[in-house]
Chains A and B, each alone.
Chain A
Amino acid sequence: MRKKIIFHFIAGLLILIVTPSYANDDDLMIINQLKKMSLIELMDVEIFNPSGSLAARKVQKLNETPAALFVLTQEDIRRAGITSIPEALRMVPGLQVARIHSSQWAINARGLNEQFASKLLVMIDGRTVYSPLRSQVNWDVQGTLIEDIERIEVIRGPGASLWGANAVNGVINIITKSAKDTQGTLITSSFGKGEEQNILGIRHGGKLGEDGHYRVYGKFYEHDSFVNDNWQMKRAGFDMDWAASENDNLSLQAEIYDGSIKLNTSSFTIPAEQINTTNIVSGLHLLSRWQHKMDSGEIILQSYYNRLKRDETYWQSTYNIYDVDFQHRSELSDKHEFLWGLGFRYTDSLINGSNYLTYIPNHRTDNLFSAFVQSEFLITEDLRLVVGSKFEHNDYTGFEVQPTIRMLWNINDKHSMWAAVSRAVRTPARIDEDLQINIIIPNSAKLRILGNPNVNSEELIAYELGYRFNPTKNLLIDASLFYNDYDQLRSTEASFQPFPIPTIFNKFDNEMFGYSYGLELATHWQVTKAWKLIGTYSYLHTNLEVTANSNYTGFEILEHNSPTNQLSLRSLWNITDNLELDAALYYVDELESQKVAEYNRFDLRLGWQANKNLAISLGGRNLFDSEHSEFGGVGTSGSEIYTNEIPRSFYLQLQYQY
């Protein structure tokens, strides 16, 4: 540790000495560059609109989006000193983010949070990272060069009409910068105590001929141990964009990674014991996208291959996903925009279990066919109507229809309102049908947990209402209300069989139902030119029940697994042109089921743009208390979850760019 610190320090000093210093005013620089160009050259300059959002499968402005959208920009991430994707999500209202280990999180939108939350769909550059094995997001393997993330778009509420199954409680789109925006060389390095211990990232971007750009990158990430745990990831990748013609754009990206994850987990025995294991993970993905612009619309054809291999204590799993997605957007008239698409996904998975846990069959291939249509009508100048639906056929439950109807009313310059009703489902994954767990209990009947081939999709009908208030250019207030009506949620039903061997069976079923409602508020306030405040508040109430013939008790745990109240306040202050002081305060209510007390978290960061090339930031997290627990205790299946307290942490980040 000590040696590493010294190394970083010396490297930092060297960089400081070598580079000349410049004034920092990007906007003025860009304007001055543009002014030197001729008209013809100006016509070749590309524009980007940072406020645009892709969450709707097209570029759209926030105040034209009839959904509970919150966008985290690169600036938000950078100024929070965040180095991993899950941690960035804390800044989003309506999301529950609870850290379990250095590498494990429980994350969901609008409640029903648990360690392997199943109702949040996450995509990185259009590629799903939702696991087809366990219905969860493997947060521990996600991450690219954090500096190359352009923005993270989070929609609370169903996004299934466009994105398909499992976009039940929310959809997260992580969008990386185009290769064109990452030219030059970047070296980032971070070291700290408590959380991330060591990060080294290198990226280089350049031109490929006249119209092409590329970047290649490599990253090493090592997390500090909370207690007996660790998280180490290595990754390398590239991204290529090529403007084949004025209207055609081709991109190709790939990444390869591996890592080792050490954590505390529970054994498959009763009583459960804490065991310390090391999981080895590796994976890769390759994605290509062709984008063709037409007079009044565009075509996007995208295909990718995604592979993840995990070697864990009780099982080894590998899955390969091949996905093709086509979409066509056309403006049929000034008042009607039509969007439709087709998709196919082939998933091939292999799970090799152990005496305690197996999947039967161990190898399986699944096909997913999908289509979607969406029409957006401009009824009057100020009134938009969106109707659409996804139609899917999967190998578990057959056809699924997931429609939505949305309305947006721009009352005037300052006020707008939207409302939506949508249906979304969480389709079963391999765990729901194929899982077989054997637990041996001394001096008692055997316990078996079984998948169920007849299991149904979990259903949600969501009612949403939103309101945006833009009283001045510097203030935006965004509020949303929701009522989620759930049916056929997953339960486990216990039964006893005395012969031939006394066994208690716990079989998956769909006997849980219930509702939740809540309120989310987000405020962006540019107080002065140099000072910005961002506040969020979330309120959530969940009520779950089981049908009369069910004996499942996990609903009580799930019901109180998410905080009722959450608050955050972030302050971004530019003290001078090259000095930033940022603070963030998070309040999270107690989690009754997890026996987690309410906590406050306070982060502070000082950023210094030493010169044009070098940025240094120094920060601390959880400054108010030495450690606190965010999740932990009991899983919904009644099993123990071993968690660690999240300690106070400090970091120093260096970013060198030329």
Chain B
Amino acid sequence: MIYYFISFKAFIRKAIGVILLTLLIINTSYARPNIAREYQLKAVFLYNFVYFVRWPPIAYGKNTATFNICILGTDPFGKEVDMAVENETVDKRIVKIIRLKNIFYAKSCQILFVSKSEQNNLDKIYTYLQKYPVLTVSDIHNFAIKGGMIEFYNVGRRVRFYIAPNNAKAVGLRISANLLYIAKLVGYKKNY
């Protein structure tokens, strides 16, 4: 066992010297950190889905002015989701964030994010939405396979999603192949 270093201080001095030198030599350009908070990222995903889904004309009803992204239950996004859609439009409609407490107001939404707080009301939500062309998104476990459309899940520190295309099709929503391509599909074949 070595019980001491040959002049520890000299070593430290050298080490610091080397570090300083490396600092000078190393190329100081580097990529932007690829990192975000979970719901910052999910908010941007949510907004992005707009471009990969086509809604039938009846989805907008009489309301032609706004494109509504609704959040049902306890809002996990906070101001992040408002920031994500600030000043954005879809087909000349202003994108609006609406926070809902009750599923019965969801028919005017184009996208509905179901918060984890609604875990116990899923049956009611699925049943109610069978009639309306609303893209349902959630991060509740098994959301898609049980009757929802898009379900976020995490693989390690990255966000992935399941899509149940049949559930979307049933209410007249068309999901672009580009989106289906990067998602995992569920409820498509019998045993996914």
Query: A residues engaging B (CB < 8 A)?
Result: 27-28, 30-31, 33-35, 37, 39-40, 42-50, 180-181, 183-185, 202, 204-207, 216-218, 234-236, 246-247, 256-258, 282, 293, 309, 318, 320, 334, 348, 350, 381, 413
Contacts and interface: CB of A to CB of B under 8 A. Distances in A.
B158 A43 contact: yes
Contacts of B154: 47
Contact of A47 (B11, B36, B120): B36
Of A27, A50, A236, most B-chain CB atoms within 10 Å: A236
B38 interface: yes
B22 interface: yes
B11 A44 contact: no
A48 B80 CA distance: 15
Q: Is the interface of B mostly helix, strand, loop or mixed?
A: helix
Given A43-B158, A43-B160, A204-B23, A30 B182 contact: no
B26 interface: yes
Contacts of A257: 12
Nearest to B49: A39
Interface in B100-154: 117, 119-120, 141, 154
Contacts of B179: 39
Contacts of A185: 23, 28
Contact of B38 (A44, A49, A246, A256): A49
Interface stretch (B40-48, B63-71, B165-173): B40-48
B45 A206 contact: no
Contacts of A246: 155-156, 158
Contact of B83 (A27, A39, A207): A27
Nearest to A36: B44
A216 B9 contact: no
B161 to A, nearest CB: 9
Given A48-B157, A282-B5, A350-B3, A31 B44 contact: yes
Contacts of A218: 15-16, 19-20
Contacts of B34: 44-46, 180
Contact of B157 (A47, A50, A207, A320): A47
B62 interface: no
B53 interface: no
B177 interface: no
A257 B22 CA distance: 19
B185 to A, nearest CB: 15
Contacts of B159: 42-43, 45, 47
Contacts of B80: 27, 31
A39 B37 contact: no
Given A202-B19, A217-B19, A218-B19, A45 B158 contact: yes
Contacts of A47: 35-38, 41, 154, 157-159
A43 B23 contact: no
A516 B161 CA distance: 51
A207 B30 contact: yes
B192 interface: no
A539 to B, nearest CB: 34
Interface residues of B, number: 53
A39 B38 contact: no
Given A27-B40, A31-B84, A43-B159, A256 B15 contact: yes
A319 to B, nearest CB: 10
Contact of A43 (B19, B33, B119, B182): B182
Given A31-B80, A309-B8, A320-B1, 14 more contacts: A28-B83, A42-B41, A42-B44, A42-B48, A46-B157, A48-B37, A181-B35, A183-B31, A202-B20, A207-B31, A246-B156, A256-B11, A258-B9, A381-B119
Contacts of B119: 381
A258 B12 contact: yes
B74 interface: yes
A309 B5 CA distance: 10
A258 B44 contact: no
A27 B83 CA distance: 9
Contacts of B5: 282
A25 B116 CA distance: 28
B15 A236 contact: yes
Contacts of A413: 74, 117
Contact of B158 (A39, A46, A181, A235): A46
B101 to A, nearest CB: 13
B45 A42 contact: yes
B36 A30 contact: yes
B190 interface: no
5 closest A-B pairs by beta carbon, nearest first, are: A46-B157, A34-B44, A47-B38, A282-B8, A236-B15
